[in-house]
């Protein structure tokens, strides 16, 4: 392993230590018409990763004139994400795919999100784009 990757691994562990949250990854069988059932081939795992809650959408109401509204739009501004460092992602033993569940174990009510997309970096860490199952 290069010196850079060794340092990056040490730094990413520190980031997890300061900002990481306990989450449960529950792989699900993909289903087009219903919420997927847990996937027995990929067991659920508890990991520590960095969660970031994005804004769902901001209303743009620039078309108002008096009581009338000529138009209104919504603009997505930032996604909800989960950053998983390379060593933790590799320890899962499987790829995360669209529809897999991510539950925040320490958050009030233990909210669950669905993986919309998994985006790996060239350093091996993975950013999961999440959607609220609320």
Structure tokens at 127: 């950013």
3-state secondary structure of 63: coil
Q: Tokens 């996604």 label which residue?
A: 79
Query: Which helix (DSSP H) or strand (DSSP E) does residue 24 occupy?
Result: strand 21-26
The domains found in the chain, sorted by start residue, are 3-132 (2.40.10)
Q: Tokens 């199952």 label which residue?
A: 133
Which tens digit of pLDDT belongs to each residue from 67-115? 555 555 655 567 899 999 999 999 999 999 999 999 999 999 999 999 9
For residue 51, the model assigns a pLDDT of 94
- CA pair distance 5, 124, nearest whole angstrom: 10
For residue 60, the model assigns a pLDDT of 60
- CA pair distance 90, 85, nearest whole angstrom: 9
Per residue, the 3-state secondary structure of 83-123, as one string, reads EECHHHHHHHCCCCCCCCEEEECCCCCCCEEEEEEEEECCC
Average pLDDT, the chain: 84
Q: What angle do CA 132, 115, 5 make, to 5 degrees?
A: 125
- Higher pLDDT: 33 or 89? It is 89
pLDDT at position 41 over 60: yes
């Amino acid at each position: 392993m290069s010196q850079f990757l060794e340092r990056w691994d040490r730094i990413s562990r520190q980031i997890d230590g300061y900002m990481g949250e306990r989450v449960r990854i529950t792989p699900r069988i993909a289903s087009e018409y219903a919420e997927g059932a847990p996937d027995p081939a990929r067991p659920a795992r508890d990991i520590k990763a960095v969660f970031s809650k994005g804004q769902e959408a901001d209303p743009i109401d620039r078309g108002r004139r008096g009581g009338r509204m000529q138009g209104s739009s919504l603009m997505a501004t930032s996604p909800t994400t989960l950053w998983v460092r390379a060593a933790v992602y590799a320890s899962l033993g499987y790829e995360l795919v669209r529809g897999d569940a991510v539950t925040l174990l320490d958050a009030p009510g233990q909210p669950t999100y669905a993986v919309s997309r998994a985006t790996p970096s060239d350093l091996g860490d993975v950013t999961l784009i999440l959607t609220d199952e609320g």
